[in-house]
Structure 1
Amino acid sequence: MSLAAHDALIHLMIVAASSDAAITERELARIQALIGRLPVFEGFEPGRLAAVANDCADRLNGPEGLDRVIDEAIAALPPLLQDTAYALAVEVAAVDLHLEQEELRYLEMLRDRLSLDRLTTAAIEVAARARHRRLPG
């Protein structure tokens, strides 16, 4: 069964959040906030989030797991949304202000499968770090 574009974006965010073994409250709150405020999610019913997340978990635990989730999500997205998909995944991964090795590996896998140039992905990563930076002290 193919994914809707909204579901595909959410799957990629869920994987970013869970790639270090557990979804934190901060990551979940960020996913909900992004869904609630970004134009790309217009028309998505927020009450479906739990069902979409459970579907993502089922796919992750099924045959081919992570590779299948990434490939199906990318296949469901129009080319115009590939940079958006990467930006959303980076945004969720960066919310904890520290990326674990597993999160970095996931973002690398995603970056390698998307049709994005390295300059675009680097700009997305720098912008996310800048948005999440806090004052020292």
Structure 2
Amino acid sequence: MTSAAQDALIDIMIVAATSDSAITEKELTRIEALIGRLPVFEGFDKSRLEEVANRCADKLNGLDGLDLVLDDAVAAIPVKLQDTAYALAVEVTAVDLFLEQEELRFLEMLRDRLSLDRLTTAAIEVAARARHRKLPA
């Protein structure tokens, strides 16, 4: 796995977390946990996370920022990891069990850019909801 592809996956998670205008502590914790435990991030230097996140934020704040970040990320991610990219975005947005309209729109934009069929993305979304459910009070 190249560091460019890992950076691109992190960019997608950062954009997913900020898509509703604010990144929460839960979302940051989830991003760090995913980077720490998933095989796709094996060999990633965790001390670079802040640098990668800041570079993503700088791109987002530029002209056509969201489109630029998504286009660059999708170009850097191998086709065989596109479902992983979508799963990471869903995982970050689903952490609070409620998706804002902006988060849904971001996932739609990401879906449109990736080479994934609707059945695959639906399965990823259902699996994330199932993982994040809590017992009723």
* TM-score interval for Structure 1 and Structure 2 normalised by the shorter chain: over 0.9
Paired position in structure 1 for 2:136: 136
Shift of 1:59: 0.4
Are positions 1:89 and 2:59 aligned together?
A: no
2:129, 2:51 → 1: CA distance? 30
Partner of 1:19: 19
Q: Which amino acid aligns with 1:103?
A: E
**Which segments of 5 or more consecutive residues in structure 2 lack a partner in the other structure?**
none
Match of 1:71 in 2: 71
| 3-state SS of 1:4 partner | helix
Give the corresponding residue for 1:99: 99
Aligned residues between the structures:
135
Query: 1:35 corresponds to which residue?
Result: 35
Query: Matched residues in 1 for 2:58 and 2:25: separation?
Result: 21
Shift of 1:126: 0.2
The separation in 2 between residues aligned to 1:134 and 1:99, in whole angstroms, is 16
Amino acid aligned to 2:14: I
- Measure how far apart 1:64 and its partner are: 1.1
User: 1:91 Cα deviation (Å)?
Assistant: 0.1
TM superposition shift of 1:32: 0.1
Q: Structure 1: state its 5+ residue gaps.
A: none
Cα distance between partner residues in 1 of 2:62 and 2:104: 23
Distance in 2 between residues matched to 1:102 and 1:47, nearest whole Å: 30
Q: Deviating runs (4+, > 6 A) in structure 1?
A: none
Identity %: 78
State the AA in 2 paired with 1:124.
I
